[in-house]
Chain A
Amino acid sequence: MNKITEKGYLSENVVRMVIEAPDVAEKRKAGQFVVLMVDEKGERIPLTIVDSDVEKGTITLIFQVVGKTTTCLAEMNEGDSLFTLLGPLGHPTEIANFGTAVCVGGGVGIGVAYPVIKALAEAGNKVIPIIGARTKDILILEDEIRSISEELIVATDDGSYGVHGFVTNVLQNLIDSGEKIDIVFAIGPVPMMKFLCEVTRPYGIKTIVSLNPIMVDATGMCGACRVSVGGKTKFACVDGPEFDGHKVDFGLLMTRLQTYNNQEQTAMENYRCRHNDR
């Protein structure tokens, strides 16, 4: 059983959980994810592994409460066990010494960016993390990331903290300042990734994005997560989740993410967390 050993809120809507999963903890690499179910009637949802502790046999997940499943998950507490957890899935991030790597995380995507920043730093890169959020209160993992790289740049949309503006502006300014950037990792909301790719495209800077389409089995069996990359259909679960951002059809990703909007609303309206029934 996958027991929750720690749970806490990083901001009003963002939860950090440490979960027992010794096999996953041992095997997982930056960029990989797990699929979990809260209970027997639940959905299978993918979440990126943020960190792991091999000795304790645990993994760390960070998620934003957005729908029924994440709401239920957020209501679970230390000592509770998940119905299922499967992983590690997907290809790990391709880590090498690229030189200077900019790693942009937006919103809850900062959690996904964190292991990539860590792995890039360990591989000897000069890592410049850029993290952004709508406002100061919902900015996560600043201290953890600063402890890896002093180069950290923070931005908030409303100017309540750090640079006033979007992470795209920060990246543009960094390029304009003459910083030689060898690779960019962009992880966050789809529009953010899309616009970051537009910033780097004219300069030919390789830009890797981490895609988050809807998944069901997440082992390559169903094709729910198909994305278009360079005009070819790929399954994010087994071919990704990271792809060359300059080749990704973000419009398709956006529309496919909205496939079940009506049902998600119904699920929330009918919401009575079954976990509380127990």
Chain B
Amino acid sequence: MTDKKKKAEKLKIPRQSMPEQDAKVRSRNFNEVPLGYTKEQAVLEAKRCLQCKKPTCVAGCPVDVDIPGFIKLIAEEDFIGAAHKLKETNALPAICGRVCPQEDQCEKACILGKKGDSVAIGRLERFAADYERKSGNIMVPEVALPTGKKVAVVGAGPAGLTIAGDLVKLGHDVTVFEALHKAGGVLIYGIPEFRLPKNIVDAEVDYLEKLGVKIVTNAVVGRVKTVDELLDEGFDAVFLGVGAGAPVFMNIPGENLSGIYSANEYLTRSNLMKAYRFPEYDTPIIHGKNVAVIGGGNVAMDSVRTALRLGAENAYIVYRRTEVEMPARIEEVHHARDEGVQFKLLTNPVEYIGNEKGWVTGMKCIRMELGEPDESGRRRPVPIKDSEFVMDVDTVVVAVGTMSNPVIAATTPGLETNRWNYIVTKGETGETSRKGVYAGGDIVTGSATVILAMGAGRKAARAIDEYLRNKEQGTRNKDQG
């Protein structure tokens, strides 16, 4: 067959949809929603890839995955080989295949997407990673000879885990300090089981430990040890990947009534503490009948879908703009809608109403309309005068964003932060105002995505490696002199 003919054949294959749990069934359980490709589907989807000589998709990936490379291996039915190819640049492919916004990254850049449907890169990534994990044949790549350099990584979230994997492979001695009792950061406490099963996160963390990464849980850096103490104790460099973990509330009357949660609390109870399995697990969570989730991002979607699964009769998204401006992934919004979530758009809460026992019973809202674009380019929501109304609610989850937790900055003299308390870095290297101290992920950018934090970890890893090698040389020169 000529190349042209081959291409024509490829173009005939439709983008393979991924089987998923029925919406009615899944909205009442915590099992994962998409079920993953079969081998046949994966091979067929992989065959759609044109194997571009200059792949635009790779440029769209924050961690430079060799996308045509791993897809070619799937097309050739070398699934393990595909997983290994992925792991050359991405330590967490089973996670990225599930939670990356591919539609804004690699798949957006896919040439096929210009005229039709792009290759389902994320689904293929997930397939290859799952295939390797289920096979039990997990490759542990060779790590470089020990450099004798020690790196402390603060925070075991996406940025921290990525940098830990990269640096350990380069031969550095890496210890990750995590405040919670489990590694994974937002992957463990934030993203629900039905979107990212926790055994997958555990497996990816195990893999890093097999590579030689040491993980110390229950260690709040800034309290039990400061950054300076880590440096004094012999760490040659410190990476701060602590995330933007502090919840934002709206500061409206009644917000402290019982039954009103931050999304962080609601999701931490359900995901990290497994409150959805109470009383098998000890941590309780309120099973609201009428639950309103305030916000339009992925965290809001995760919260409202959790509410449904906890038995809500009415689960609402209350968002002050329209669906077009929602920051959530389209797929998440669709999933939520299919499961029965009700969208109250152009609506904003202004006050909570409580009963004599201090429990929330109602939420006074005001209707909004879109005005002129604001600095984000989205049209600014403006309240409509005298349009207040009351919604009956017994549980509210506030998912309007997060901000930085100030504990590291407050305990690290000389660490430059901006007015929102995010750490200031020099360009993409993650270098901070303190020598040997690097930062990346949400604590630098403000809340963003898993993959962007991983990308920041990847870039900082290169910078730290270079710093450590120069440092080594510097020491040697001094020794010689």
A267 with B218: in contact, given A87-B224, A223-B262, A224-B265 (CB under 8 Å)? no
CB distance from B447 to the nearest CB of A (A): 13
Q: Which residues of chain B come closer than 8 Å to A258, judged between CB atoms?
A: 258, 357-358
Q: Which residues of chain A come closer than 8 Å to B284, judged between CB atoms?
A: 260, 263-264, 267
Q: Which residues of chain A come closer than 8 Å to B265, judged between CB atoms?
A: 216, 222-224
A86 touches B218 (CB 8 A): yes
A41 touches B282 (CB 8 A): yes
A216 with B405: in contact, given A24-B224, A252-B358 (CB under 8 Å)? no
Judge if B181 is at the interface, Cβ distance under 8 Å.
yes
Q: Which residues of chain A come closer than 8 Å to B322, judged between CB atoms?
A: none
Q: Which residues of chain B come closer than 8 Å to A233, judged between CB atoms?
A: 249, 251, 255-256
Tally of contact residues, A, Cβ under 8 A = 42
Q: Which residues of chain B come closer than 8 Å to A223, judged between CB atoms?
A: 247, 249, 261-262, 264-265
Provide the bound-state CA to CA distance between A233 and B220, in Å. Answer: 23
> Can you list 27 pairs linking A and B with CB atoms under 8 Å apart?
A41-B274, A41-B280, A43-B283, A44-B273, A83-B181, A84-B181, A86-B179, A86-B181, A89-B220, A216-B268, A220-B245, A220-B407, A221-B247, A221-B268, A222-B247, A222-B262, A223-B249, A226-B256, A227-B256, A238-B407, A251-B358, A252-B256, A255-B358, A259-B259, A263-B278, A264-B284, A266-B278
Provide the bound-state CA to CA distance between A88 and B407, in Å. Answer: 13
Judge if B378 is at the interface, Cβ distance under 8 Å.
no
Provide the bound-state CA to CA distance between A263 and B286, in Å. Answer: 9
CB distance from B246 to the nearest CB of A (A): 5
Provide the bound-state CA to CA distance between A42 and B284, in Å. Answer: 10
Judge if B269 is at the interface, Cβ distance under 8 Å.
yes
Tally of contact residues, B, Cβ under 8 A = 42
CB distance from A204 to the nearest CB of B (A): 27
Judge if A194 is at the interface, Cβ distance under 8 Å.
no
- Which A residues have a C-beta under 8 Å from some C-beta of B? 23-24, 27, 37, 41-44, 68-69, 83-89, 216-217, 219-224, 226-228, 233, 238, 251-252, 255-256, 258-260, 263-264, 266-267, 270
Q: Which residues of chain B come closer than 8 Å to A44, judged between CB atoms?
A: 181, 273, 283
Provide the bound-state CA to CA distance between A263 and B246, in Å. Answer: 26
Judge if B377 is at the interface, Cβ distance under 8 Å.
no
Provide the bound-state CA to CA distance between A226 and B265, in Å. Answer: 11
Judge if B225 is at the interface, Cβ distance under 8 Å.
yes
Provide the bound-state CA to CA distance between A87 and B218, in Å. Answer: 8
Interface string of B87-101 (1 = CB under 8 A from A): 000000000000000
Choose from B251, B256, B405 the contact partner of A256 (Cβ within 8 Å): B256
A37 touches B181 (CB 8 A): yes
Provide the bound-state CA to CA distance between A263 and B277, in Å. Answer: 12
Choose from B264, B286, B358 the contact partner of A222 (Cβ within 8 Å): B264
Provide the bound-state CA to CA distance between A258 and B245, in Å. Answer: 26
Q: Which residues of chain B come closer than 8 Å to A266, judged between CB atoms?
A: 278-279
Q: Which residues of chain A come closer than 8 Å to B420, judged between CB atoms?
A: none
CB distance from B395 to the nearest CB of A (A): 11
Q: Which residues of chain A come closer than 8 Å to B219, judged between CB atoms?
A: 23, 86
Provide the bound-state CA to CA distance between A206 and B259, in Å. Answer: 33
Closest to B225 in A: A23
Choose from B179, B217, B278 the contact partner of A217 (Cβ within 8 Å): B179
Q: Which 10 A-B pairs have the closest CB atoms?
A: A255-B358, A263-B284, A222-B265, A86-B218, A84-B181, A43-B282, A223-B262, A221-B245, A259-B258, A260-B284
B258 touches A27 (CB 8 A): no
A86 with B220: in contact, given A222-B265, A223-B249 (CB under 8 Å)? yes
Provide the bound-state CA to CA distance between A86 and B177, in Å. Answer: 12
A41 with B281: in contact, given A219-B179, A222-B265 (CB under 8 Å)? yes
Judge if B180 is at the interface, Cβ distance under 8 Å.
yes
Q: Which residues of chain A come closer than 8 Å to B255, judged between CB atoms?
A: 233
Choose from A85, A89, A216 the contact partner of B283 (Cβ within 8 Å): A216
Judge if B223 is at the interface, Cβ distance under 8 Å.
yes
A267 touches B279 (CB 8 A): yes
Q: Which residues of chain A come closer than 8 Å to B405, judged between CB atoms?
A: 219-221, 238
A221 with B256: in contact, given A37-B181, A255-B357 (CB under 8 Å)? no
Q: Which residues of chain B come closer than 8 Å to A251, judged between CB atoms?
A: 358
Q: Which residues of chain A come closer than 8 Å to B407, judged between CB atoms?
A: 219-220, 238
A88 touches B223 (CB 8 A): yes
